[in-house]
Structure formats: structure tokens, C-alpha cells
């Protein structure tokens, strides 16, 4: 989860630096979320609106498939991109700008890693820590996405659909026997 302060003009540039660091260290399939904080501020005090963040995220190559869905209509957006002939083409949500994937190698991230990252949804939320607006929806979406991803990965590991024994924690806690011993001391 990346969090930016909507009242700071330079927050998007800071975001780009963090995205580069995460792209260099994290697996490319990791889900990415952007929380634009301080949504409770009046419009004149905000430098960044949700749409600005969606457009910016798309231009730095952190989009995702158009099939990605947000569970909180009006509270979040999904920056979407598609890779075609070496270009990341942004959809109408991102203003229709195109950014060369080859240009992303100049930023220190390989084109193949950047292209793989583009296949991962980057959901953008407006949140407020003061009023709590959007926070529950964001974490509900993250939990839902994680569960969906887990189910898909489990299905890929076990394509026959058979249920396999999983290890479980035994009742009684750590180091305690779960058997009832009726013998005396």
C-alpha cells in the first residue's frame, strides 16, 4: 500500500521514487494499492485529486488489466494499461497518453520487470484518517483481492480440484497434548 498526502504538491514525485524501489525489490506479481489521504480536506486545500493520481500511476507504468475491479464504486479507481509494440497505452481513464516501456529502463527498472508489473492491478483510493472515509472499503478490497489471488494460486497448484490434507494447529496450544490423559500422576 502506497500512501500519498493530497495536500502536498510533490507527493506524486515521492510516489514515483517509492514505486521504483518496490519494483526493484518486490516480486512483479505483487498487488499494489495507492491511498490518496486527506480526502476530507476542502478542494482548494488539495493539490492531488483521485483522477490525477490514477493518471500519474498509469504514466509511470504501474497500471493493470482492464478486468480489475474495484469493490467501492466512486471511492477507488483502477489504473489500467496494456502492453503493445513496446508501448504502455493508457486507457481513457488515464487521459490517453502513451509512455514508452523502453524509456522505463532509463529509470533503473528493466523493461521486462516493468512489463510484468504492468500486468498487476494498481488500485487508487481516496481515504481520510480524520473521518475514516474510504479506509474500510480499501482494506475490504485488499482482503478480497488477496483471497481471490490465494484461491487462484491454489487452483493452479492443484488443477485436479482434489482437496488435500492441510496442516492445522491442534487445539490446546503450543506444546500441550491434545489427548485427555486419565491416568493418575
DSSP string, 79-144: EBEEEETTEEEE-GGGTT-EEEHHHHGGGTS-HHHHHHHHTS-EEEEE--TTT-TTHHHHHHHHHH
Strand pairing category for 32-37 and 122-126: parallel
pLDDT given for residue 90 in this prediction: 26
Domain boundaries, the chain: 2-157
pLDDT given for residue 137 in this prediction: 92
The pLDDT of residue 149 is above 80: yes
Q: Which of 48, 79, 76 is nearest to 62 (CA)?
A: 79
Query: pLDDT digits over 6-41, tens only?
Result: 888 788 888 888 888 888 888 877 888 888 888 888
pLDDT given for residue 143 in this prediction: 94
Sorting pLDDT into bands at 50, 70 and 90, what band is 135?
A: very high
The pLDDT of residue 131 is above 50: yes
The pLDDT of residue 88 is above 90: no
pLDDT given for residue 95 in this prediction: 30
Separation CA 59–CA 158 (nearest Å): 37
Whether the model pTM is above 0.75: no
Amino acid at each position: 500500500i502506497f500512501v500519498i498526502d493530497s495536500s502536498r504538491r510533490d507527493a506524486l514525485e515521492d510516489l514515483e521514487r517509492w514505486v521504483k524501489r518496490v519494483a526493484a525489490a518486490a516480486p512483479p506479481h505483487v498487488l499494489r494499492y495507492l491511498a490518496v489521504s486527506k480526502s476530507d480536506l476542502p478542494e482548494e486545500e488539495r493539490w492531488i485529486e483521485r483522477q490525477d493520481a490514477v493518471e500519474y500511476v498509469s504514466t509511470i507504468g504501474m497500471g493493470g488489466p482492464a478486468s480489475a475491479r474495484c469493490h467501492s464504486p466512486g471511492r477507488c479507481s483502477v489504473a489500467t494499461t496494456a502492453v503493445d509494440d513496446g508501448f504502455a497505452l493508457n486507457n481513457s481513464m488515464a487521459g490517453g497518453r502513451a509512455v514508452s516501456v523502453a524509456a522505463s529502463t532509463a529509470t533503473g527498472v528493466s523493461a521486462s520487470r516493468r512489463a510484468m508489473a504492468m500486468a498487476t492491478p494498481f488500485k487508487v483510493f481516496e481515504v481520510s484518517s480524520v473521518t475514516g472515509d474510504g479506509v474500510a472499503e480499501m482494506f475490504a478490497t485488499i482482503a478480497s483481492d488477496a483471497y481471490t489471488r490465494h484461491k487462484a494460486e491454489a487452483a493452479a497448484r492443484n488443477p485436479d480440484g482434489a482437496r488435500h490434507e492441510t496442516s492445522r494447529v491442534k487445539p490446546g496450544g503450543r506444546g500441550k497434548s491434545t489427548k485427555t490423559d486419565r491416568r493418575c500422576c
